[in-house]
Chain A
Amino acid sequence: MARPLIALEGIHKRYPMGANEVQALRGLDLAISPGEFVAIMGPSGSGKSTLLEILGCLSHPSDGDYRLDGRSVAGLSVDQLAQVRGEKIGFVFQSFNLLPRLTAIENVELPLVYASTPRRERRSRAENALARVGLVDRGDHLPSELSGGQCQRVAIARALINRPSLVLADEPTGNLDTATGDEILTLLHALHREGNTILVATHDAKIGTQATRVVTIQDGKIARDENREAAA
């Protein structure tokens, strides 16, 4: 196995909840290698979203070590974390999270704006990314003028634009009908075959059956970790 892209060791996450504390994650260990397609499954309240937050460098674990690409992110400042997110992680959300006031191509460009990429390069890379998700002629549409599936493709293009080490998708098909959801899934698979590391948090058993690896979370710990590399 190659050097892990993601290495979580003894991750704890506690939230204050009124006077009490909620233990969202209780000593979770996980290693993910480059090129894997991992489905993270688990019921609501299992800690799945919290795990995603931490994997996405959106928040720090309360305890434990997280190494992304060999580099520990535990001690990073807020702005350094933002930089890591911008450079190494592409997010895909259930509700797409496109900015309604920006056109599709501007939404795709957004991570490059914060990475201070020159304007012309931004535009050409965004066009390529849109072409990759099959929306080459929809660049100047506003999200409100696109279908749900198209919006999610725009979001995927945005996630890909910085050539991230890791694509994190949170219920990417949750807001879509079955047919459109399948299309998105196919797209994710294609991206996986091109060498992208993809991590999908989902309730959807179908995604589980198609992933190379399924990690099931329960009560803040890993309950099951099935490798289906052979099956895929």
Chain B
Amino acid sequence: MVYESLRQALRTLLRHRARAFLTMFGVVWGTSAVIFLVSWGDGVRTMLEVGFFKTGKNMGEVWAGRIGEDFTPAADRRYLWFNLEDVEALRRRTRLASRVGAEAWEMLPAAFGQRALTVDVRGMEQHSQEIRGVPLVAGRRISQADVSHRRRVVVLGDRVRRKLLGAQGGIGSWIRLGGKPFRVVGMLRPMGSQLNQDRMQIDDQVWVPISTVHANWPAWWTHEPVVSKIIYRMVDRHQVDAAEREVRAILADRLQVSATDDEAIPIWSSIHMLNQIPVDQTRGMMWTLSIATLVIGGIGVLTMMLDAVHERRHEIGLRLAVGARRRHVLFQFFVETFAITALGGLMGTLLGVGGCWALTQLQVPDMIPVPELSASIVLGALGVMGSVGLLAGVIPAWRAAQIEPAIALRQE
């Protein structure tokens, strides 16, 4: 009986190919819309996370500014800076940051053979490299030994490598930074655009030991080893504000400023930006919209099937007259509706998955989101499609089963 019903349902669909396809179209469209829209929404989120976290995951950045107007007479708005001891102190005392790193900046001319350009030089150490988390394509990072011995070694960002070394140089090449020879020991992976950047993108930077910066290009206003920026990785991204308060309080204590003076000690965490973007709401909206599309498709199927039941009431009457039970008729029409929905759903899934796949194959610029397909989205879409099919199938099937067998005798 099951086999017969399936066979007959498929046959009916084949006979009415055009009508079946038009009916299916809503479901095809709805299913592919669910998959495509939600995947794309996920792609946007991933793009944002990747964009913001390229320069360091769950990272907070701390500068030293001037004492805030509210905290001191205008005449005494001192300039502030951090030194390595402040970094050490923060590292010792913090509870909400798992790592604390120091960076020192210089803009310096770089030369290799007859090529030259001005580059963003970052004095780095173990911790700051760890927080940045930029992978290497060749060579090694700045080591603890490099920092201890103030070695003139350099790790090149991708664009600097291409512009300065070109095809001629590699690991072991010597370049000149601010007039002094440095040996290339590592190359960073190309990072592309970053949503969070301080002056320069990673690709335009060169990294050297922080001690080497201090030894070769000391600050002109102090003998202290100046740290241009302190970066830290917070323990828990949900405690971003608490971490900022704690870090500021510790550093304010060192610098003898107020613990709430965010002009003296500005802190920036990219997570704030991520949190401001209503990623989850957007995802919810995508689901709602696409489910609505699918439901509308289901209503199309429902109407068509109700119509078909009416049109085929003589057929139903005849089936009943020759011995079909109500459940046979119920099952037949249910299977037919479900087959349309399932077929449409599968076509829609293929279309949606195919579309997503095609987009991921395209070489799109860095900041264009690409749909991010996941099994849960496909299963979710199929689940919704299945429910729609069930609902759209039950009503016409029930109607069909209510038809009086005596209709078989009536002439139209």
Check: A83 CB closer than 8 A to any chain B CB.
yes
Within 8 A of A (CB), among B297-337: 314-315, 318-328
Residues of A within 8 A of B191 (CB): none
Contact of B406 with A58 in the complex, beta carbons under 8 Å: yes
What's the Cα separation between A110 and B8 when bound, in Å? Answer: 12
Q: Which residues of A contact B406 (CB under 8 A)?
A: 53, 58-59
Whether A82 contacts B411 in the complex (CB less than 8 A), given A58-B406, A110-B319, A116-B1, comes out as no
**Which DSSP category, helix, strand, loop or mixed, fits chain B's interface?**
helix
Q: How many residues of B contact A (CB 8 A)?
A: 26
Inter-chain CA distance A87–B322, complex, in Å, is: 9
Q: Which residues from 90 to 134 on chain A have a C-beta closer than 8 Å to any C-beta of chain B?
A: 91, 93-95, 97, 99, 101, 110-111, 113-116
* A91-B324 contact, Cβ under 8 Å, with A110-B319, A114-B319: no
- The complex places the Cα of A87 from the Cα of B326 at a distance, in Å, of 16
- The reply to whether A101 and B323 form a contact with Cβ atoms under 8 Å apart is no
Docked-complex contact A114 and B321, CB < 8 angstroms:
no
Measured between alpha carbons, how far is A87 from B324 in the docked complex, in Å?
Answer: 11
B4: which of A78, A113, A162 is its contact (CB, 8 Å)? A113
Collect the chain B residues with CB atoms within 8 Å of residue A87's CB.
323
Known: A78-B326, A101-B12. A58 touches B405 (CB 8 A): yes
Partner of B322, one of A49, A52, A59, A86: A86
Within 8 A of A (CB), among B354-412: 404-406, 408-411
CA distance A200 to B8 in the complex (A): 32
Q: What B residues does A53 contact at CB under 8 A?
A: 406, 409
Chain A nearest Cβ from B18, distance in angstroms: 15
A53 to B405, CA, bound (A): 9
CA distance A56 to B315 in the complex (A): 17
A58 touches B409 (CB 8 A): yes
- Is A229 in contact with chain B by the CB < 8 A criterion? no
- The smallest beta-carbon distance between A68 and chain B, in angstroms, is 14
The 8 Å CB contact of A82, one of B4, B315, B323, is B323
- Contact between B322 and A101 (Cβ–Cβ < 8 Å)? no
- Chain B contacts for A213, CB-based, 8 A: none
* A114-B325 contact given A99-B315, A99-B318, A101-B12, CB 8 Å threshold: yes
Question: Which of B1, B321, B326 lies in contact with A58, CB distance below 8 A?
Answer: B321
Which of B319, B322, B324, B325 is the most central at the interface, judged by chain A CB atoms within 10 Å of its CB?
B322
Q: Is A79 an interface residue (CB 8 A)?
A: yes
Given A115-B323, A158-B322, A85:B405 Cβ within 8 A? yes
B15 at the interface (CB under 8 A from A): yes
- Chain A residue contacts of B1, Cβ below 8 A: 113, 116
* Contact residues on A (Cβ < 8 Å of other chain), bracket: 20 to 34
Per the bound structure, the CA–CA distance linking A32 and B80 in Å amounts to: 116
Question: Given A59-B404, A97-B318, A113-B4, does the pair A49, B409 have CB atoms closer than 8 Å?
Answer: yes
**Do A114 and B328 contact each other (CB < 8 Å), given the known contacts A83-B323, A85-B322, A158-B322?**
yes
Of chain A, the residue at the smallest CB distance from B11 is A101
Could you say which of B11, B321, B404 contacts A91, with CB atoms under 8 Å apart? B321
A81 CA to B327 CA in the complex, in Å?
A: 14
B314 cross-chain contacts in A, Cβ below 8 A = 97
B408 touches A82 (CB 8 A): no
A97 → chain B closest CB, angstroms: 5
B318 lies within 8 A of A111 (CB): no
Which of B11, B15, B322, B409 makes the CB contact (< 8 A) with A114? Answer: B322
How far is A81 from B323 in the complex, measured between Cα atoms in Å?
A: 8
* A114 CA / B322 CA spacing, docked (Å): 8
Q: Is A36 an interface residue (CB 8 A)?
A: no
Question: Which parts of B55-71 form the interface with A (CB within 8 Å)?
Answer: none
Shortest beta-carbon distance from A123 to chain B in Å:
13
A82 touches B318 (CB 8 A): no
Complex partner residue of B323 from A59, A94, A99, A111, CB under 8 angstroms: A111
Nearest B residue to A54 via CB reads B406
- Contact status B12-A85, CB under 8 Å: no
Docked CA distance A111–B324 (Å): 8
Give Cα distance in the complex from A101 to B13, angstroms.
11
Scan A52-92; emit 1 where CB is below 8 A from any B CB, else 0.
Answer: 11001011000000000000000000110111011100010
A81 cross-chain contacts in B, Cβ below 8 A: 405
Q: How far is the CA of A59 from the CA of B322 in the complex (A)?
A: 14
CA distance A91 to B321 in the complex (A): 8
Decide: B321 and A56 in contact? CB cutoff 8 A: yes
Check if B15 sits within 8 Å of A101, measured CB to CB. yes
Docked Cα-Cα span, A110 to B320, in Å, equals 11
Q: B318's closest neighbor in chain A, by CB? A: A97
Chain B's closest residue to A89 (CB) is B321
Kindly list chain A residues whose C-beta atoms are within 8 Å of the C-beta of B324: 82, 86, 114
**A-facing mask of B1-42, CB < 8 A → 1, else 0?**
100100010011001000000000000000000000000000
Could you tell me if B408 and A93 are in contact, using CB atoms closer than 8 angstroms?
A: yes
Contact status A52-B409, CB under 8 Å: yes
Most buried by A among B8, B314, B328, B406: B406
Measured CB to CB, the closest approach of chain B to A62, in angstroms, equals 14
Q: In whole angstroms, what is the CA distance A83 to B326 when docked?
A: 11
Complex interface: chain A residues within 8 A of B315 (CB):
99
Say how far B164's CB is from chain A's closest CB, in angstroms. Answer: 76
A49 to B411, CA, bound (A): 11
Q: Which of B11, B318, B325, B411 contacts A79 (CB 8 A)?
A: B325
Can you pick out 15 interface pairs between chain A and chain B where the beta carbons lie within 8 Å of each other?
A58-B404, A58-B406, A81-B405, A82-B320, A82-B323, A82-B325, A85-B320, A85-B405, A91-B321, A91-B408, A93-B408, A97-B318, A101-B11, A113-B1, A170-B409
Which residues of B are at the interface with A, using a C-beta cutoff of 8 A? 1, 4, 8, 11-12, 15, 314-315, 318-328, 404-406, 408-411
Given contacts A56-B321, A59-B404, 6 further A-B contacts (CB under 8 A): A49-B409, A53-B406, A91-B322, A93-B318, A97-B314, A114-B324
A-B CB proximity, top 8 nearest: A86-B323, A58-B406, A114-B323, A111-B322, A58-B405, A114-B324, A79-B325, A97-B318
